[in-house]
Structure 1
């Protein structure tokens, strides 16, 4: 390849308070054997010494540029860097990830040899905070079905043609965790993606990185949201991966998430209840549940706390039909109320035999009549209840149940 055939490559590095790693990242770009590289660092106004490190490289001229100013997060920084970029090929290298030698030249050669490819990616290692290799990233040759089942592309080992990056609108700034997975899905809808079996980069895993800190609370919901957006559903592989590796977050968290995205089909929902904003409930606690007739509510799960009253009980009725009495222990408690309702609107009343008025007891000025605290109110369909019971046995049981009973077929494939 002669000089006239060598395109400029723009490496974009979003950065915020990564002084411990960013110099290694910059040096990994500097040490590339490919001569036509511009490295753009978009820093969000770091206060940990990152800016002092960036200033050290200011004498590199066109090979290195940086801005440091408040931004709206990583996705905003990447799109800002994309607007600054002059190259034909874009590399996205986070401020704690380094390239391996000859990564850029291998990617450029692959894109030159395959003009039909919109992007190319290679293999990568996962490394720790001391740059020690932990294991290979689970990269696979590109297949859209495989991408549906898992993120088979390691972001620092990927290079995208700039015109493609711009055509699809850059990185989705509504995402804070899986913007790379979303990017690969969007590109793969319209364009070809290539793979080369060379190791191109290291992806760093350390206690403070976003992929560790927010892997469940932000990562999993964003993965589900993006997969449904682009494929119409989410793979069991994703669900089982999180269930098996992150079960400590608890079944109620998973139930609420699964209900939100209808992972197990249409789901009954609480339409109204008289629980107070501070989660206390009055002696007559009333809950209205809406559902479709095809997936009626089977069970109502109640998770609460009683830390005041002894010898407490509650009588439950469903649509004015009395069911049974429940003992309310003086501690945390869970109640499963069978519903088996075949009407669109189900009304559940829980009447307590005791209550307190805090102002009358001199506790505070609260004049409400209060019985106990209710943290979770979750109506479940029959399928959701089966999942709940399997989860109680253990996450592996829940995972096995999903694989056997849920069959997602993405219409987009």
Structure 2
């Protein structure tokens, strides 16, 4: 079973669409866990209306300590062995969840599986496609390769949390990045599939976009990277130090120029 977890707070604009996206997947082996943080708009009434008609929907509404806390609540109550996080304003492509069930049949616990993600503007026009083909921890920590951009495009075994722990409730902005670094190192198998599964809407005024606009997001991402670098084994820390040095970058540049020479 897949447990799709949606944290939401005052999300009346998107919650119905989010619920319908999961329904339209027509996946028979699924539960949709919606964790509402005590919304004061129409979010709860919309959730309640759908939950009365669709038994795969489970939900609670209560005050929480933020998005990470809400996701943890969903994970702890999840009945499925596979976890997917679907933020209220994001959505899946057609038939993704059935495809995920098929892929996970052949994977050992605890696996982490990543696909591609469309990045959309507010008019739902694709700006680019995030393709995190390389999922090795050193290039990811050095920000040399794209990291998985949004949880609508990755899934994992619930048991992975027994290895890496739950989401950090003190982290409110780059909790996904923190999770990815832990998952890549803690999963028994990390698998990239060159298929587009998720869609992330870049919407003005959201927590993430406000953080990016202020420059806070970049600083927080740097902090998370440094935190994980410090936790690496000594040999890998040395590798990071070497590969991030100006001398190493200069040598790489010279080698690249040399290889592009017609006399090479």
Using the size of structure 1 for normalisation, the TM-score is 0.53
Alpha carbons of structure 1 residues 146 and 102: separation in structure 2 relative to 1, 3 Å? farther
Which residue, 135, 146, 156 being the options, matches 1:160?
156
Alpha carbons of structure 1 residues 117 and 71: separation in structure 2 relative to 1, 3 Å? closer
2:198 counterpart residue number? 201
Q: Please tell me whether residue 127 in structure 1 is matched to residue 120 in structure 2.
A: yes
2:27 counterpart residue number? 34
CA shift at 1:77, angstroms? 0.3
SS of 1:57 mapped into structure 2: helix
2:258 counterpart residue number? none
1:354 counterpart residue number? none
Larger radius of gyration: 1
Structure 1: any 5+ residue segments left out of the alignment?
1-7, 234-401, 408-413
SS of 2:91 mapped into structure 1: coil
Structure 2: any 5+ residue segments left out of the alignment?
232-243, 250-264
Q: Matched residues in 1 for 2:41 and 2:113: separation? A: 34
Q: Matched residues in 1 for 2:5 and 2:16: separation? A: 14
Q: Please tell me whether residue 105 in structure 1 is matched to residue 98 in structure 2.
A: yes
2:211 counterpart residue number? 214
In terms of fraction of residues, the more strand-rich structure is 1
Once the two structures are superposed, residues 274-301 of structure 1 have per-residue CA deviations (whole angstroms, 9 ceiling, x without a partner) of xxxxxxxxxxxxxxxxxxxxxxxxxxxx
Once the two structures are superposed, residues 1-59 of structure 1 have per-residue CA deviations (whole angstroms, 9 ceiling, x without a partner) of xxxxxxx1100001012221222211111111321110011011112321122122112
Using the size of structure 2 for normalisation, the TM-score is 0.80
Which residue, 13, 18, 22 being the options, matches 1:20?
13
Once the two structures are superposed, residues 70-109 of structure 1 have per-residue CA deviations (whole angstroms, 9 ceiling, x without a partner) of 1111000000111111100000011110111111122222
How many residue pairs get aligned? The number is 233
In terms of fraction of residues, the more helix-rich structure is 2
2:87 counterpart residue number? 94
1:371 counterpart residue number? none
SS of 1:11 mapped into structure 2: strand
Once the two structures are superposed, residues 236-286 of structure 1 have per-residue CA deviations (whole angstroms, 9 ceiling, x without a partner) of xxxxxxxxxxxxxxxxxxxxxxxxxxxxxxxxxxxxxxxxxxxxxxxxxxx
Which residue, 51, 60, 63 being the options, matches 1:67?
60
SS of 2:160 mapped into structure 1: helix
Which residue, 176, 181, 206 being the options, matches 1:180?
176
In the alignment, is the contact (CA less than 8 A) between 2:110 and 2:160 conserved in 1? no
Which residue, 221, 226, 229 being the options, matches 1:228?
226
Q: Matched residues in 2 for 1:225 and 1:153: separation? A: 18
Runs of 4+ in 1 over 4 A off after TM superposition: 402-407
Which residue, 173, 183, 190 being the options, matches 2:186?
190
Within a 5 Å distance, the mapping from 1:293-308 to structure 2 comes to none
Which residue, 31, 55, 69 being the options, matches 1:76?
69
